[in-house]
Chain A
């Protein structure tokens, strides 16, 4: 008996010491350097709802990437068939993401062979011949489709990571979630709106020629002529949002060049009159292409289009070599800087949509922490006072267990890098209220046994033994519902599930085993002649 008590005393002392060590960084803030070498340095991580910040879930529109890819294949196909002197009579992408190709019946077999050898990514869905010729329906190979979707999400994730890194957020979380979602968490971000703008921009940069042969007014009124399109720009300086005047541009629909050649983008201050502009550095291929485009179209206007918005359409004065281009427009400094970030980080292969946003300002987080601590203190004090009033000495023992309980609970949170959220704090407060259940069960049982005429010693033993099944059962059921909650919950709610489940372990450990060590110690020392209960 004596040795058993000693062993358990040692175990609990070690646990307490360890718990205290894990909590030191949380309570003293910066740990000294000698500490960092071999002792825990992790503080309890605060969730976004406590420290402020943004939680975003982005859905990558992968279908758009599939469409784009098919569109590209279609254009390649048109080019190839023309080169091979078997031009298509009809070629289009239909709604079901298939390519429909029609050729004169005489060319049918040759085209089929060409498709097979030149487009291994496509599968022939059907082919039939009627009076108009031979018609092929082609779709992307299932495997190809899957890898395209995967790549699109992965590429989007990398791009968004780049953008966030350049935007400057400390300890961001950027993760894939499920099939096509990306989870982004930006702790402590000061301007969530701006962060969202930067993350969500598709940033597809295109250079297109202005169509100056047709009338713009005509096109606005009755739709653009074939091969042309109308896109808009904004006239007023700095006003991208509502109320700014929209200016239509009639553009040649062909894209001469895209942003894929950009190696760098910088903000240049510009003159007072024009405001800042963004200078683009192109790689050697891009530089050659840009030189050719400008050489072929001197005196025409070249529109610079970002995400279907025309930024500017300057006249090409002369051939531009050297791989530098610039986007002037109606920028504020901040806008120009954000534009440079997204151009540097590259375009998203598919648009993203924010499907969930939770942003908490820093002041609300601070208030929540304060209110959480106050409720903890008030709620805890009520329980502690009540336990003393009701159980006297045994109440004190239960209260001591309660203090160790909270100590262990916080230490586990710190040690396992769990995130403490506002519902998580509520979970700790609730744990206090529920933890004493174990002591109540034990104490009620001891009282019963004492009333039955047992000696303090055997009443104690019977009390612990008989109460244990019920204590375990009730904690297991709470734990099970905590697990379900963990499965279901996101962010803050997960934090609650974590504190609830961890709290159950620490409760059983302290309320049952730790208090037992105390009584056993007293029994071993033969000082237990009466139980204050």
Chain B
């Protein structure tokens, strides 16, 4: 079986201007969204408490709210969680368990009064103090930034050795710009889909950074090889040939990764779903950014020099 017939020559680099304008617009929109609306932070980053409940009977959010009113828990957000009909809910509180003392007891008592003893189960409690939340937020942001820099430096050094320092630098920069693009697209998708940002999202973003750079590496590797083979050809044409030659691989690899991620998204359960979602978006974006961003960036820089 073959998806991409040998000898296929799609003139990807031709579309680079449109792609760049489009990507810039989308990224600016994500940034605007990020700074105006702000991310929906989970307890890991915002601090506070999350209680995950499962009821044996059908209950509604207003009923839960009513049950909790007596406990004076402060601002509460109650959300449906998990599949339809599983009667699972998430209660989000600003306070942490330390601040309200025996938090679980209060909630449990309120719910027992309303729905009856033993009719529900506390499946998960996560509580993070404001100081820890701030610390995790900072470290999470920095780890994603650090990862992108590490990837850029790796490619710079890696291709710099065999290819000359200037090429190495441009490949590295192309890769970093593509990575920033992928991370922003993923963040934007999470914002739009209203998923909470928590530690697993940071894990997803780091994985995206590590995975997405693979495509760039493979294509750069091929560009390097083709440059050796045909020294007289124009860089644009070499880049285009390289993208086309590796296209099949790019699609297959991302395809198999997306297969398992789709399985995780639908079957892995509510806890892992945001993580799978982020990876699905980020990996797909990785294909686009390698073809339409990383390679043109290299071209742009090389043109600028000449």
Mark A467-490 against chain B: 1 for CB-CB distance below 8 A, else 0: 001100110111111101101111
Q: How far is the CA of A196 from the CA of B125 in the complex (A)?
A: 13
Size category, A interface: 35 or more
Tell me if A375 and B263 are in contact (CB < 8 A). yes
Task: Scan residues 178-203 of chain B and give those whose CB is less than 8 A from a CB of chain A.
Answer: 199-200, 202-203
Q: Check B221–A469 contact: CB distance below 8 A.
A: yes
Question: Cβ of A357: which chain B residues have Cβ within 8 Å of it?
Answer: 96-97, 125-128
Considering the complex, give the chain B residue whose CB is closest to the CB of A479: B210
Q: How far is the CA of A378 from the CA of B253 in the complex (A)?
A: 17
With contacts A436-B256, A444-B249, A493-B202 known, is A426 near B272, CB below 8 A? Answer: yes
Residue of A nearest to B247 (CB): A444
CA distance A521 to B80 in the complex (A): 57
Which of B96, B102, B127, B214 has the largest count of A CB atoms less than 10 A from its CB?
Answer: B214
**Complex Cα gap A494–B173 (Å):** 29
In Å, the complex CA distance between A444 and B253 comes to 11
- A423 engages B257 (CB within 8 Å): no
Using Cβ atoms and an 8 Å threshold, which residues of chain B touch A355? 96, 98, 128-129, 131-132
- Chain B residue nearest in CB terms to A367: B269
**Contact (A383, B260) CB under 8 Å given A477-B217, A481-B207:** yes
In the assembly, what is the distance between CA of A482 and CA of B202, in Å? Answer: 12
Instruction: Choose among B122, B200, B256 the residue that contacts A361 (Cβ–Cβ < 8 A).
Output: B122
- What is the chain B residue whose CB lies nearest that of A430? B260
- CB A197 to nearest CB in B, in angstroms, measures 7
Which residues between 1 and 46 of chain B lie within 8 Å of chain A, taking CB atoms? 1, 6
Q: Is A364 an interface residue (CB 8 A)?
A: yes
Q: Does A121 contact B (CB under 8 A)?
A: no
Q: Which segment of B57-65, B145-153, B232-240 sits at the interface? A: B145-153
Contact A426 B268 (CB under 8 A): yes
Residue B276 lies at the interface, judged by CB distance under 8 Å to chain A: yes
Q: Say whether A389 contacts B1, CB under 8 Å.
A: yes
A433 contacts the other chain (CB 8 A)? yes
A-B CB contacts (within 8 Å), total count: 231
In the complex where A356-B132, A364-B52, A437-B253 touch, is A432 in contact with B260 (Cβ < 8 A)? yes
List residues of chain B with CB within 8 A of the CB of A193.
102, 104-105
Residues of A within 8 A of B267 (CB): 371, 374-375, 378
Q: B158: which A residues are within 8 A, CB to CB?
A: 473
* Size range of the chain B interface in the assembly: 35 or more
Choice from A57, A192, A379, A478 contacting B104 with Cβ under 8 Å: A192
Cβ B260 vs Cβ A382 within 8 A: yes
Q: Is A363 on the interface with B (CB-CB < 8 A)? A: yes
Q: Select from chain A the residue with minimum beta-carbon distance to B86.
A: A367
| Given A378-B267, A441-B249, A361:B147 Cβ within 8 A | no
User: B126 to A474, Cβ gap below 8 A?
Assistant: no
- In the assembled complex, the Cα of A423 lies from the Cα of B271 at a distance in Å of 9
For the complex, what is the distance from the CA of A451 to the CA of B248, rounded to whole Å?
15
Q: Is A326 part of the binding interface, using a Cβ–Cβ cutoff of 8 Å?
A: no
Distance of A422 Cα from B217 Cα, bound (Å)? 30
Residues of B108-133 at the interface with A, using a CB-CB cut-off of 8 Å, are 109, 121-129, 131-132
Known: A375-B260, A496-B203. 14 other contacts (CB 8 A): A192-B104, A241-B102, A353-B98, A386-B259, A426-B264, A430-B207, A434-B256, A448-B6, A466-B225, A470-B222, A474-B213, A474-B218, A477-B213, A477-B214
> Could you jot down 12 A-B contacts, CB within 8 Å?
A57-B132, A354-B127, A355-B98, A357-B97, A361-B121, A382-B256, A437-B256, A474-B217, A477-B154, A480-B147, A485-B206, A488-B139
Residues of A within 8 A of B (CB): 49, 57, 59, 192-193, 196-197, 241-242, 353-361, 363-364, 367-368, 371-372, 374-375, 378-380, 382-383, 386-387, 389-391, 422-423, 426, 429-430, 432-434, 436-437, 440-441, 444, 448, 451, 466, 469-470, 473-474, 476-482, 484-485, 487-490, 492-493, 496-497, 500
